[in-house]
Structure 1
Amino acid sequence: MTDHLRAHDAALERLRALHPLKIDLSLDRMRRLCAALDNPQDRLPPVIHVAGTNGKGSTVAYLRHMAEAAGLEVHVFTSPHLVRFVERIRLAGTLITEAHLADVLERVEAANAGEAITFFEITTAAAFVAFAETPADLCIVEVGLGGVLDATNVIAQPAVSVIAPIDLDHREFLGDTIEQIAVEKAGIIKPGAPAVSARQQDSVDGVLETAAALAGVELTLMGRDFDAWEERGRLLVQMQDRLLDLPAPALPGEHQFANAGLAVAALLVLDDPRIDEAAMGRG
């Protein structure tokens, strides 16, 4: 085992020990740490921020592959990891190296100065530092828990906010009803950033529409403003002004047509001319 890998593992263990004794969903700790790091979250490439209960990971994967198929260099932050922590941070198309991660964690740990902070918060800050210091065309950030008070929600100005299907999850933190949970997830909808949502339960639609209206942004909702379905082994995405006929997603399951369609709609709302229909098909 190399020295930098040992440093990386040791740093992660030290950071786990800083976790508050009680779970307290708050952005105060994250804002304090980001300020000490010169606010890396404000120095990112255009951000697609993805929340929801089901399909977040698949939607992020489709977004990344379609953007990369267009030749864009893409940062990606996801959680949790399957085998190695570095899977959470993809820098301009490549997983962060163990050595780079160890260096960033050391700097973030020093900036935190031993203050109580959750493991997810401090590692999210590390990802933002790495993203801010590495040039890229696009940044895709997956919410960890909820939305309103999730550590990733220090991003003040995403380019697009994406809401995957919402269901009952983490009720001990987010609320006992689907509507309460939807309010938390809708917290990533910000002024100046159009929002795109998967097909939702009727009561969730109203929550998202209210959040978008309060932010003064347009909500593009699957089943109302666009739709996606499988037809003859292809993915069809019907927008208000066009119909896209794309290859079927490679991930198995009928629900993947909806996830891929959500990603397509988000990229169309992003409106980057480099990501054309041909690139979406390749992705």
Structure 2
Amino acid sequence: MSVDTAGQAIERLMSLHPKGFDLSLERIARLLSRLGNPEQRLPPVIHIAGTNGKGSAAAFSRALLEAAGRAVHVHTSPHLVNWHERYRLAAPGGGRLVADAVLAEAVERVAQANGGEAITVFELLTAVMFELFSEHPADAAIVEVGLGGRFDATNVIPRPAVSLIMPVSLDHEAYLGDRVELIAAEKAGIIKPGAPVVVGQQEWDAAREVLIETAERLGCPLKVYGQDFIAVEEHGRMVYQDEDGLLDLPLPHLAGRHQIANAAAAIAAVKAAGFALEEGAAERAMTRVSWPGRLQRLPEGRLSALAPEGAEIWIDGGHNPGAGAAIAEALAEAEEKRPRPLLLIAGMLETKDQIGYFRAFSGLVRHVYTVPVRNSDAGVPNSTLAARAGEAGLSAEPVNSVANALRLLAETWNGDSPPRILIAGSLYLVGEVLAENGTPPD
């Protein structure tokens, strides 16, 4: 089989079934029943929901468990470049993205079991995850929610080892509601009676209260950031504290101050799930953790070579105001430590709050180049996006591609120091950039 066999099989499914989400558990439950209910044969599951930080929490949880010698499956979505990124299977020395032949066979098997009945592609791919994770041995499985929680296709797990709820804010309002407490209630849907719950750092008190009330009503052992555990930066280190004491750790390898709270939530979740965590393992995890496309330094490649000489290029797939604020804070700190002019190359989807996202960068970004998002039907036209950046108070102009934005910068840059460039606003855009740069995740 070629490396594209699984991708081709999934593309065929996308031509037969609707794209997007149709939130319900009936179809996935029917399909899993035909498959012999693989969701009931998983290793202990860390189930992760939230608006922002789910992927980082999954990456930290994986790093913590693997540093402690555990074999771990990981499910995340969406992917950046290849469908295989959604399925990382446990392997000696650390998990590996699923082999193409293994994924292709599982996709075909799940499609046959569905028998052409109405279902979404995400539901089919979630069933593939359950099949793969039930068939390959592991000590733990980390499962990221796709959208919401209550009716997300992953929410057929009977009893997770822990439900981890990361920061909740406004996003996907058409599906989840237009008030943060409504969105929190959807995320809280992954909480199961009596199963441990960890609540990560929350910007909104209303969201935190909904999550705490749900866990208490269902009789769940509960750990809440800022109440039962916390982490702070001290003297260039990360100090984590809970009822068991202190962990004095290196700062997380992932960039941004917000990653300290994300790491803390993962530590609390791993412990709540019943896994022993020694300080040495936690220290190794902080230095090894990796999460592509989230405030990641763009590796050297075909695209990065087009930028002004010496430019510092970052990519980030955050796409809502909460994510924008976290990234802007991280880049403001970078500006304090190593001053450079900041330029933004942005592409976004129509379903996102573009103006709210851009406002986070007010007073920080010198200029914005807006580009189309080519891998999504919901991409905002670059001219429209430039106008919305202008409404947020930023200087902006449309350009027809990231490559041309970098070329334009290289031709016109005459600053005293090389620029810092952020390419951001959509995971679809980040995936395009990594593919075009020749540096897909592995």
**Would you say 1:71 and 2:73 are equivalent positions?**
no
Given that residues 5 and 102 in structure 1 are in contact (C-alpha distance below 8 angstroms), is that contact kept between their aligned partners in structure 2? Answer: no
Per-residue deviation, residues 225-258 of structure 1 (Å, max 9, x unmatched) = 1111111111111102311111110011110111
| Residue of structure 2 aligned with 1:255, choices 241, 258, 265 | 258
| Residue of structure 1 aligned with 2:198, choices 196, 201, 219 | 196
Structure with the bigger percentage of helix: 1
Given that residues 4 and 102 in structure 1 are in contact (C-alpha distance below 8 angstroms), is that contact kept between their aligned partners in structure 2? Answer: no
| Residue of structure 2 aligned with 1:51, choices 49, 52, 72 | 49
Given that residues 18 and 121 in structure 2 are in contact (C-alpha distance below 8 angstroms), is that contact kept between their aligned partners in structure 1? Answer: no
Gap change, CA 1:194 and 1:22, over 3 Å in 2: closer
Task: Tell me which stretches of 4 or more aligned residues in structure 1 moved more than 2 Å.
Answer: 3-7, 17-24
The alignment partner of 2:215 has SS state of helix
Alpha-carbon distance between aligned partners in 2 of 1:4 and 1:40, rounded to the nearest angstrom: 27
Given that residues 87 and 98 in structure 2 are in contact (C-alpha distance below 8 angstroms), is that contact kept between their aligned partners in structure 1? Answer: yes
Cα offset, 1:262, TM superposition: 0.8
**Would you say 1:232 and 2:235 are equivalent positions?**
yes
Alpha-carbon distance between aligned partners in 2 of 1:112 and 1:7, rounded to the nearest angstrom: 20
Question: Could you say which residue in structure 1 is the equivalent of 2:37?
Answer: 39
**Would you say 1:217 and 2:217 are equivalent positions?**
no
Given that residues 194 and 221 in structure 2 are in contact (C-alpha distance below 8 angstroms), is that contact kept between their aligned partners in structure 1? Answer: no
The alignment partner of 1:140 has SS state of strand
Partner amino acid, structure 2, of 1:218: P
Alpha-carbon distance between aligned partners in 2 of 1:276 and 1:110, rounded to the nearest angstrom: 45
Alpha-carbon distance between aligned partners in 1 of 2:5 and 2:275, rounded to the nearest angstrom: 40
The alignment partner of 2:239 has SS state of strand
Please report the TM-score for the alignment, with normalisation by the length of structure 2. Answer: 0.62
Alpha-carbon distance between aligned partners in 2 of 1:18 and 1:33, rounded to the nearest angstrom: 16
Partner amino acid, structure 2, of 1:187: G
Unaligned runs of 5+ in 1: none
Given that residues 19 and 121 in structure 2 are in contact (C-alpha distance below 8 angstroms), is that contact kept between their aligned partners in structure 1? Answer: no
The structure with higher relative contact order (CA 8 Å, sep 6+) is 1
Question: Could you say which residue in structure 2 is the equivalent of 1:117?
Answer: 119
Per-residue deviation, residues 51-87 of structure 1 (Å, max 9, x unmatched) = 0011111111010011001111100000111111101
Given that residues 7 and 83 in structure 2 are in contact (C-alpha distance below 8 angstroms), is that contact kept between their aligned partners in structure 1? Answer: no
Question: Could you say which residue in structure 1 is the equivalent of 2:96?
Answer: 94
Question: Could you say which residue in structure 2 is the equivalent of 1:186?
Answer: 188
The alignment partner of 2:155 has SS state of helix
The alignment partner of 2:154 has SS state of helix
Partner amino acid, structure 2, of 1:124: T
Gap change, CA 1:22 and 1:79, over 3 Å in 2: closer
Alpha-carbon distance between aligned partners in 1 of 2:274 and 2:157, rounded to the nearest angstrom: 20
Question: Could you say which residue in structure 2 is the equivalent of 1:172?
Answer: 174
Per-residue deviation, residues 157-190 of structure 1 (Å, max 9, x unmatched) = 1000001100001000000100000000011111
Between 175-184 and 209-218, the greater mean CA deviation after superposition: 209-218
Count of aligned positions: 280
Given that residues 75 and 142 in structure 2 are in contact (C-alpha distance below 8 angstroms), is that contact kept between their aligned partners in structure 1? Answer: yes
Cα offset, 1:15, TM superposition: 1.5
Alpha-carbon distance between aligned partners in 2 of 1:25 and 1:270, rounded to the nearest angstrom: 27
Cα offset, 1:218, TM superposition: 2.0
**Would you say 1:133 and 2:132 are equivalent positions?**
no
Output the aligned Cα RMSD.
1.4
Alpha-carbon distance between aligned partners in 2 of 1:8 and 1:226, rounded to the nearest angstrom: 42
Question: Could you say which residue in structure 1 is the equivalent of 2:25?
Answer: 27
Between 82-91 and 12-21, the greater mean CA deviation after superposition: 12-21
Between 231-240 and 10-19, the greater mean CA deviation after superposition: 10-19
Given that residues 20 and 120 in structure 2 are in contact (C-alpha distance below 8 angstroms), is that contact kept between their aligned partners in structure 1? Answer: no
Identity, % of aligned pairs?
A: 55
Partner amino acid, structure 2, of 1:180: L
Alpha-carbon distance between aligned partners in 2 of 1:114 and 1:94, rounded to the nearest angstrom: 31
The alignment partner of 1:86 has SS state of helix
Question: Could you say which residue in structure 1 is the equivalent of 2:283?
Answer: 281
Given that residues 53 and 166 in structure 2 are in contact (C-alpha distance below 8 angstroms), is that contact kept between their aligned partners in structure 1? Answer: yes
